[in-house]
Homo-oligomer: A and B are copies of this chain.
């Protein structure tokens, strides 16, 4: 029952021209006589002909798609990044394929392989593997890639990242300024650079305030999600000297934590101030709106895509040698109720 696919030859025959002319109507309309063009377009319409991308890319060597590999599709932060990237890519006539590594280097490697098979035009990636080894095949194939939310090492390619050290310092600095002297840092998987940098930033702020490093107590979690936040709350409340403030490595953790605190009857912010990270939409929708470190997520996606497109076109005209660039954006603290002491 499936219709037989109609190809460019069928169109050519029906319009009484050669395949070359049909192809030209699509790719350089100005070189085809107007009336021929119209006749062909009419036939295309009538037969419902659609170009086969696979045939085009076979000829051109690479597809019109860029891939985006994110750590967690369930985190709205990455959804925002994806949106930014998608907009930029579509403006350039490219499609975006978004895939989720769930922070697993193995998944990451698998997807990279898939992308190479697809001969994607380029790859945007928030790396799950800190070594960057999973990206080696891309380099080998000469496929441009840009790291997102991660500063690339020298010669590893372009990157767009946010200064996580500064972000950590902002969060901790804010809590210190509110008078807190025992602060918990709810972190995540230690192999993620972001986690480490945010801690570093927090410690810097503490040192700058002339306080000892012990001011910060780290509470690691296995997963950067809401459930992880709930778990962390239990451990937080079980600490011998209970902190009066907590800085969470992302908003999902903060939300889970905040809920568990509420359930345990611990008042936010009076008994426990909370600061999150990412400033996702949901963060401002909690009953006690969450103070959070905002990352310019959509911008990051957009910039990364633009950098990638630049690199792609530099590859084309081999004359201009491409210089890897590293864009570092600055985070911003958004203060809301969850970290403001009641006026006393």
Chain A residues at the B interface, C-beta cutoff of 8 Å? 1-3, 5, 48, 50-55, 57-58, 61, 63, 73-74, 76, 79, 82-83, 86, 95, 97-98, 100, 113-114, 116-119, 137, 140-142, 225-226, 255-256, 258-259, 262, 281-282, 284-289, 315, 318, 321
A55 to B61, CA, bound (A): 10
Q: Is the CB of B52 within 8 A of A119?
A: yes
Q: Is the CB of A262 within 8 A of B282?
A: no
A133–chain B nearest beta-carbon distance, Å: 14
Closest to A136 in B: B48
Across the interface, A288 reaches (CB within 8 A) one of B54, B76, B287, namely: B287
A75–chain B nearest beta-carbon distance, Å: 9
Given contacts A119-B53, A255-B282, A285-B226, whether A48 and B2 have CB atoms under 8 Å apart is no
Closest to A57 in B: B54
Give the 9 A-B residue pairs with the shortest CB-CB distance, closest first: A287-B287, A2-B142, A54-B57, A54-B58, A53-B117, A54-B54, A3-B142, A255-B285, A50-B116
A141–chain B nearest beta-carbon distance, Å: 7
A186 to B139, CA, bound (A): 51
Across the interface, A287 reaches (CB within 8 A) one of B95, B117, B142, B258, namely: B258
A268–chain B nearest beta-carbon distance, Å: 9
Q: Is the CB of A1 within 8 A of B114?
A: no
A287–chain B nearest beta-carbon distance, Å: 3
Given contacts A61-B5, A98-B98, whether A50 and B281 have CB atoms under 8 Å apart is no
Given contacts A48-B137, A54-B54, A76-B74, whether A289 and B259 have CB atoms under 8 Å apart is yes
A106–chain B nearest beta-carbon distance, Å: 13
Closest to A282 in B: B282
Known: A48-B141, A54-B55. 15 other contacts (CB 8 A): A3-B142, A5-B61, A48-B140, A50-B117, A50-B137, A50-B141, A54-B58, A79-B79, A226-B282, A255-B282, A258-B287, A282-B282, A285-B286, A286-B286, A287-B287
Across the interface, A141 reaches (CB within 8 A) one of B3, B141, B225, B262, namely: B3
Which residues of chain B are near A142, meaning CB under 8 Å? 1-3
A169 to B57, CA, bound (A): 51
Given contacts A54-B54, A117-B53, A142-B3, whether A287 and B315 have CB atoms under 8 Å apart is no
